Structure 1
Amino acid sequence: MRLILAVALALIAGSVGAETRVPQSRAEISMSFAPLVREAAPAVVNIYARRVVEARRSPFADDPFFGEFFRNFTQAQPRVQNSLGSGVILSDDGIVVSNYHVIGQATDIRVVLNDRREYSASVLLSDEQSDLAILQLDGASDMPHLQLRDSDTVEVGELTLAIGNPFGVGQTVSSGIVSGLARSGLATGNMRGYFIQTDAPINPGNSGGALIDVQGRLIGINTSILTRSGGSNGIGFAIPASLVEQFMAQARAGNDRFLRPWSGFRGQAVDADLSDSLGLALPGGVVISDLHDASPFAEVGLEIGDVILAVDSRPVNTPAEMVYRMSVRGIGARITVDYIRDGSPVEARVTLIAPPEEPAREETVLGRGALLEGLRLARLNPALRDELGLDEGAEGVIVLDPGAVGARVGLRAGDILLSVGRYVIERPGDAARILRQATGRVALQVQRGNRRLALRFRV
């Protein structure tokens, strides 16, 4: 009887204020999401991005013999590549968030609103590692926008709506629940991220769209699905709104690249086997396996072997969670770290800092007449590792640009140059000096990802 009365009252309320009211009770929600969608949908946009890319060159392009036969087939003609996705308006002056993979390297971005208004947009800040980008609509004002919700208040089981433009069919709404939190074992961009999981159907084109709660607040940006067939299997992932808020703040501050706080350590998740060896009652936390001397964590007394359990009372169980917790606080923030040392709980206050430029990069470009003319090298330091998305343990001299000659002998951007002949390379100047003196056959040793390669050529 109470349920019938609640439904009747909800029907009366819906008939009176259906145009403006957002559902406030489970009974109202069970009948219709329409009022909620009417309020939230205008802030979700369609994004059309265009980029110009070089066509793949023929493998015979630089061959002295076969190149003559394939001359007419080796011209790399630029081609236009289009992408389609979604975005969310965050402010009345037209700040929009979307995924990096939707707008990355785009030369032209067009944004279409729910009411069919169109705007061109420029990129304020983008980050491939987090797969997020902040855009500015040109000449926009009085835009509909969504309120951001603190992601730490989201709970498993909450009702959610996913709004986007799947398959380019037009704005579409799907419903579901929050089915998981702190998902960090999945790749986005070029690193492993930290996600909210939902069973609301998400399909290609939904990328960059909104995941909202029953109050119409943004809880995440839809970014990927887990699928074997290419279709939605009810396992979708969204980037938490708290990270989006930090991106927006940095864009407002004038940053064109997202700056993450630097931990200065490498760590690994504590599983059951590792917890036994560390003498922990339960698996959990992140154990410090390597620690830089300039790390802010080392400065307050943390050591290799310490197990970090929480940041600001929020548990961290993977390195990705640690990166997320630091990122949402931002550079200059002071965080509380709870950790275990020799079985005893310890607490420390850590001030988050930007990756330092120490040692100096010593960027070097081999000039005209050099053996590998145009080769651009730099010495790795924390700031450069962060820019390139490299592991904290990456050291040495990195190839920033192989140049035309270096590319022909097999060098690639991102290679770490280990040696030239029998000479170990420790600084960019070493490589420049040795290559100027090289004669005859030259052998380069490089580290490419997890592989060590030997590149040989004749001067």
Structure 2
Amino acid sequence: MNQFTKLFLAALLSGVVTLGTYKLLLDHTGYFAANNNSITTTANTSYGQTVGLASEAVDFTQAAENTIHTVVHVKNVSYKTLSNPILEYFYGYKGGQSQEQIGTGSGVIISADGYIVTNNHVIKDASEIEITLNNKKSYQAKLIGTDSKMDIALLKIDANEKLPYTSFANSDSVKIGEWVLAVGNPYNLTSTVTAGIVSAKARNLGTNGIQSFIQTDAAVNPGNSGGALVNTRGDLIGINTMISSMTGSYVGYSFAVPSNIARKIIEDIMEYGNVQRGILGVEGGELNAMASKELGLTQTEGFYIHKVAKNSGAEKSGLKKGDIIIKLDHQNIATYADLSGYINTKRPNDKVQVTIIREGATKVIPVSLSKNEFFSTEFKGIELENITPEDKKKFGITNGVKIKSITNPNLMQYQEELLGNIILSIDNIKVKDVESVSKMLNQKEEKQSIRLEMLNKNKEHLRVII
């Protein structure tokens, strides 16, 4: 047999094997056919249309169009007195030159009659607040109330027309990977829209107040603070408040106060004149592999209770050390940020269904959030709380409020001397408790000086003006 014949027979045999394999395995009657009962790997034909990331799959235009008209430019005018240390040292000169300082940010109109939410740091120490709408109209704004811990402030403008506004969405239902838009006024530009996804929820950055941010990769820059984070329907899911950056400009991630927290703060300010903080009354920490190993636990997610506060709702309901909180109402609790974020949406006396693991068994315990023992308010960067029976006995008093913490930078140098002091009167009016003080201070302007009479830790009477 010559060489040509051998090659021809080899090629023919190869073709027969290939055709037979196709018929056996890949044909519509073959082993891997779509209608074969063994294994099916065919993707749904609608997958690319509904789940794919093609730009035509998500339309941002309507949400952007609705939102840009509800986001405003906020101008903060303050005045700082500049002193001359040389003149003060040699000549005892105490005068100074007043210098105007201007800060800018964003805000979101939340009602047709002109209520606006923004960040507290955007309007902090403002003597004047000017609001510019997207149609270039400007108004002077009145400060209604603030919560520096959660970095939220409520403003009001009086316009001669009904204003477009953004509706609140339920931030608890926001999903990781969901498309979002950030709308604000970065670098003093007019309303700017950027898009991204929700990167994480209940993000704890170790700040003093907010412990439950929404993290997104939508570009947020200086000037965006106080602006809107909305979903693709244009509903408000957060108030943009900060960026994580070594340069001060956006480098990948930004953070927003969840709308449920912001809405609760705003409603409190409007209804009560102060923020009503509900307290569960437990101390502890979130579980992880290392913590669970040290505690001899198999559960690696949840909030482990180390201590239950006396007279708190948690104690009255029977929560105790060693319980692991895994759910509040229908909200899963895996971290401290999950727990604090949910509680921050509640008020004193609200009832929460607490799901715990105790000695391997799951229990659901209703807990009424505490009020009087832990109620606090804040003014000019001084957080106040009610005095305890021990305080009354120690100082020989029947009424007053205690300085709990200091956040005012101008008072930080006196923090050690002020913490724990008992305020007896404000502007010569005797104070009863935090609730009455809160109502009194709510009628005063932030820039207005007030006189305090207090007892320090040595029971000495002090009078100060702040």
* Stretch of structure 1 that moved more, 49-58 or 322-331: 49-58
- The root-mean-square deviation of aligned C-alpha atoms, in Å, is 3.6
Q: Is the 8 A contact 2:111 2:166 kept in 1?
A: yes
Q: Quick one: distance in 2 between partners of 1:211 and 1:411?
A: 36
1:238 equivalent in structure 2 = 256
1:279 equivalent in structure 2 = 296
- 1:199 positional shift: 0.6
Out of 121, 124, 139, which is 2:141 matched to?
Answer: 121
Out of 317, 324, 331, which is 2:334 matched to?
Answer: 317
Distance 1:241 1:138, change over 3 A: same
2:240 equivalent in structure 1 = 222
Q: Quick one: distance in 2 between partners of 1:26 and 1:266?
A: 43
Question: Secondary structure of 2:262's partner?
Answer: helix
Distance 1:222 1:347, change over 3 A: same
* Stretch of structure 1 that moved more, 33-42 or 90-99: 33-42
Q: Quick one: distance in 2 between partners of 1:291 and 1:332?
A: 17
Q: Is the 8 A contact 2:284 2:304 kept in 1?
A: yes
Distance 1:278 1:136, change over 3 A: same
What TM-score do you get using the length of structure 2 for normalisation? 0.70
Per-residue CA deviation, residues 167-222 of structure 1 (Å, 9 max, x unaligned), is 112221111111111111342xx434211111110000000001111111111111
- 1:430 positional shift: 6.3
- 1:115 positional shift: 0.6
1:97 equivalent in structure 2 = 117
- 1:313 positional shift: 2.6
Q: Quick one: distance in 1 between partners of 2:197 and 2:250?
A: 15
Supply the AA of the counterpart residue of 1:197: Q
Q: Is the 8 A contact 1:379 1:428 kept in 2?
A: no
- 1:345 positional shift: 2.2
2:71 equivalent in structure 1 = 44
Distance 1:70 1:338, change over 3 A: farther
What TM-score do you get using the length of structure 1 for normalisation? 0.71
Distance 1:317 1:55, change over 3 A: farther
* Stretch of structure 1 that moved more, 218-227 or 284-293: 284-293
Supply the AA of the counterpart residue of 1:250: D
Q: Is the 8 A contact 2:63 2:231 kept in 1?
A: no
Question: Secondary structure of 2:69's partner?
Answer: helix
Q: Quick one: distance in 2 between partners of 1:112 and 1:29?
A: 34
Per-residue CA deviation, residues 416-444 of structure 1 (Å, 9 max, x unaligned), is 58xxxxxxxxx947613599xxxxxxxxx
2:267 equivalent in structure 1 = 249
Supply the AA of the counterpart residue of 1:71: G
* Stretch of structure 1 that moved more, 265-274 or 124-133: 265-274
2:347 equivalent in structure 1 = 330
Supply the AA of the counterpart residue of 2:99: R
Distance 1:29 1:130, change over 3 A: farther
Supply the AA of the counterpart residue of 2:228: A
Out of 201, 224, 243, which is 2:219 matched to?
Answer: 201
Q: Is the 8 A contact 2:119 2:151 kept in 1?
A: yes
Question: Secondary structure of 1:232's partner?
Answer: coil
User: What are the equivalent positions in structure 2 for 1:12-411 lying under 5 Å apart?
Assistant: 29=56, 33-55=60-82, 58=85, 67=89, 69=90, 71-72=92-93, 75-139=95-159, 141-187=161-207, 190-255=208-273, 257-356=274-373, 357-359=386-388, 380=402, 385=404
Task: State the number of aligned residues.
Answer: 367
Percentage identity across paired residues of the two chains: 29
Q: Quick one: distance in 2 between partners of 1:342 and 1:267?
A: 17
Per-residue CA deviation, residues 271-305 of structure 1 (Å, 9 max, x unaligned), is 22221233332322222233321111011011223
- 1:401 positional shift: 7.8
Per-residue CA deviation, residues 213-271 of structure 1 (Å, 9 max, x unaligned), is 1111111111111111222112011111111221222133141x322112333222222
Per-residue CA deviation, residues 348-378 of structure 1 (Å, 9 max, x unaligned), is 101123242341666999xxxxxxxxxxxx7
Q: Quick one: distance in 1 between partners of 2:420 and 2:99?
A: 31
- 1:346 positional shift: 2.2
2:458 equivalent in structure 1 = 431
Which ranges of structure 1 fall in alignment gaps of 5 or more residues? 8-24, 62-66, 366-377, 391-399, 418-426, 436-459
Q: Quick one: distance in 2 between partners of 1:76 and 1:342?
A: 66
Per-residue CA deviation, residues 125-162 of structure 1 (Å, 9 max, x unaligned), is 21111001111112464110011110111111111111
- 1:51 positional shift: 2.2
Q: Is the 8 A contact 2:406 2:415 kept in 1?
A: no
Q: Is the 8 A contact 1:160 1:176 kept in 2?
A: yes
Question: Secondary structure of 2:344's partner?
Answer: helix
Q: Is the 8 A contact 1:125 1:258 kept in 2?
A: no
Q: Quick one: distance in 2 between partners of 1:96 and 1:363?
A: 45
Look at both structures and tell me which one has the larger radius of gyration over its CA atoms: 2
Distance 1:296 1:77, change over 3 A: farther
- 1:30 positional shift: 5.1
Distance 1:329 1:429, change over 3 A: closer
Q: Quick one: distance in 2 between partners of 1:433 and 1:27?
A: 70
Which ranges of structure 2 fall in alignment gaps of 5 or more residues? 1-44, 374-385, 422-453
* Stretch of structure 1 that moved more, 311-320 or 150-159: 311-320
Per-residue CA deviation, residues 109-136 of structure 1 (Å, 9 max, x unaligned), is 1111101111211122211110011111
Question: Secondary structure of 1:321's partner?
Answer: helix
Question: Secondary structure of 1:328's partner?
Answer: coil
